[in-house]
Structure 1
Amino acid sequence: MATVTGYPGSFQKMDLEHKAIERIKMASDMSLHHYGLPLVCTYSGGKDSDVILELFKRSGVQFEVHNSHTTVDAPQTVYHIRKKFREIELCGTKAEIQMPTYKGVPCSMWTLIPQKGMPPSRLMRYCCVVLKETGCANRFIATGVRWDESNARAERGAYEVIGKTKADMITATDEIMLMNDNSIKRTMTENCMRKNKMVVNPIIDWRHRDIWDFIQSEHIDYNPLYDCGYKRVGCIGCPMAAKSRWKEFSDFPTYQRAYIRAFDKMLEGLKARWKDKPPKWKSGYDVFLWWMGDKNVEGQMDLFEDGFVSEN
């Protein structure tokens, strides 16, 4: 292993890179053996995706790149993805941007909300299921999931099998059948794998600082939104983003208007469906304020407009 001089923590950086590449190589071998198809590098346009993509290039394995177009990514993210995919295709690697569908029909966040009859939330994340997680069925994929990002992800392993329920999932703490394993269960395992999506998380143990150290030291082109104060570059308005959503809608007001229009259409459907008990919301804007956790209530007085305080 080469030594990088003049770089703080260079040995640690090289160790993380080497371990991640070895995970990719092992997953590639498993993908080709069990599925007969190359490993897929999933790409969202964020910093972790850019690191994963660079590691794939350095691994020397055959791979494909896939992006699920959510319809609610910021323009900068969409342009960054397109730029990266053009570069990838020029190198002869397959790069696919998958447009979302729902019940066999093309959809977007704005058509999905009225059909579901409720806003997406932390507990009802139907948007992720439809817009992000339907791609690469029955394939072995690589993601940028990291323990450092959340407590929930701390339960994830370097290798996983994704089933229909949580009980069907296999993580790194369980036995995973490798190519050189000799077991009476081998054929059964291979058939099971072909019916599920397998996942490798090469940078699962990378910290936030490790990601940026790698990007800066290797001069990797990244999403320009990070230079605008963003710590995450996911879907605009994602309920998981908490208070940062206000900044997102301030920077991208067109998305706020699109959500409000979708909520208006949602209310029309609910009123037609529940004539005896219509929703309490009066407009899509009311839904938006509730969705954003606004504590203001209808009827609150304005100190200036109601004449309690003089503007002079």
Structure 2
Amino acid sequence: MLVEETLFGRRDKVQVAIDRLRAFEPTEGYYLAFSGGKDSQAVYHLCREAEVKFDAHYSLTTVDPPEVIYFMREHYPDVAVEHPGITMWDLIVKKGMPPTRIARYCCDRLKEHSGQGRFVITGVRWSESARRKNGWGVLELNSHSSARVKLMNDNDEARRLVESCVMKSMHTLNPIIDWREEDVWEYLNSRGVPHCCLYDEGYSRIGCIGCPLAGAKQMKKEFARYPKYEQAYLRAFDRMLQARIDNGKPYKKWHCGQDVMDWWLSENRPAHPDEQLSLYDTRR
């Protein structure tokens, strides 16, 4: 619930989020990393309620669900669309491997460069896990260290209310980091805010089509819905394999794009012996 009783009295999560936005508002205004999903929608409307200065930006990945694009055009025409300068298909060829849960080069290249030099706000929330409140504080200025670099759309228990990244020269505020999913829906519905139709069709997330973070089952569901995107991935995998042959680094067990796709969509994906050589080589 958005209003809850605690040992310290009533806590209004909406007011807390508004207070957070007002407390850290920069002179030039916030840079809202907008995804078209429910969480970034909530932050967008909280900014309006808080009356803080902000401008919203959507990072186009070239594998975006069409429904999300149409939804934003209709309901959020003020959101600026940022183009990545490279398509997912060309990026796969360049990296020489498909994106995986570990090698998330697509997020870093297609989404994470926006907002550099700005105070970014996101709809990131802590995961619903037993570890999410294991002593971590809600306020941290996190400079770059040997720890894993967090991506802007990561939802895990190590996220902070305020973060700082030296590499990207930006600070990040996650004003609804402690909200639950039901809190987000309660907030949007109580204010009559429309949402993307994909949520009504059983989608719990509306990220990139074919995102490996969604899992093989969801990826198959998405390709059944968007077969042209599956074909585009297959063509990219074929080009990727040919590029590796041309560079003298052919895969031993992948001979065509379908071989790559079958491995990529495997429910219990085995570690591909050829992949081990390039799994972490994603800086090219």
| TM-score computed with the length of structure 1 as normaliser | 0.73
Written as runs of structure 1 = structure 2, the 5 A alignment for 1:269-284 is 269-274=243-248, 278-284=251-257
State the SS of the aligned residue for 2:221. helix
Q: What amino acid maps onto 1:17 in structure 2?
A: V
Deviation at 1:83, TM superposition (A): 2.5
C-alpha distance 285-10 of structure 1, shift in aligned 2 (>3 A): closer
Question: Contact (CA 8 Å) 1:159, 1:171: kept in 2 or not?
Answer: no
Does 1:20 pair with 2:17? yes
C-alpha distance 115-22 of structure 1, shift in aligned 2 (>3 A): same
Correspondence for 1:62: 53
After superposition, give the CA deviation of every residue in 1:267-292 in whole Å (9 maximum; x if it has no partner): 000111126x5432111011011011
Does 1:143 pair with 2:126? no
- 2:116 and 2:269 mapped to 1: Cα distance? 44
State the SS of the aligned residue for 1:114. helix
Written as runs of structure 1 = structure 2, the 5 A alignment for 1:80-229 is 80-86=71-77, 89=78, 95-100=79-84, 106-148=85-127, 158=138, 161=141, 163-165=143-145, 172=160, 196-229=169-202
Q: What amino acid maps onto 1:259 in structure 2?
A: Y
Correspondence for 1:302: none
Of residues 284-293 and 141-150 in structure 1, the stretch that sits farther from structure 2 once superposed is 141-150
C-alpha distance 166-149 of structure 1, shift in aligned 2 (>3 A): farther
Correspondence for 1:268: 242
> Which has the larger share of helix?
1
Aligned residues: 255
Larger Rg: 1
Identity of matched residues, %: 39
Q: What amino acid maps onto 1:76 in structure 2?
A: E
Deviation at 1:85, TM superposition (A): 3.1
Superposed CA RMSD: 3.2
- 1:207 and 1:132 mapped to 2: Cα distance? 24
Give the alignment partner of residue 219 of structure 2, picking from 245, 254, 259.
245
- 2:268 and 2:160 mapped to 1: Cα distance? 43
C-alpha distance 111-195 of structure 1, shift in aligned 2 (>3 A): closer
Q: What amino acid maps onto 1:42 in structure 2?
A: A
- 1:258 and 1:152 mapped to 2: Cα distance? 39
State the SS of the aligned residue for 1:66. strand
| TM-score computed with the length of structure 2 as normaliser | 0.79
Q: What amino acid maps onto 2:83 in structure 1?
A: M
Q: What amino acid maps onto 1:269 in structure 2?
A: A
After superposition, give the CA deviation of every residue in 1:237-265 in whole Å (9 maximum; x if it has no partner): 11110121111111111111111110000
Question: Contact (CA 8 Å) 1:138, 1:193: kept in 2 or not?
Answer: no
- 2:195 and 2:161 mapped to 1: Cα distance? 33
Q: What amino acid maps onto 1:23 in structure 2?
A: R
Correspondence for 1:46: 37
After superposition, give the CA deviation of every residue in 1:197-238 in whole Å (9 maximum; x if it has no partner): 101111011011111111222111111110111000001111
Deviation at 1:172, TM superposition (A): 4.9
Deviation at 1:49, TM superposition (A): 1.0
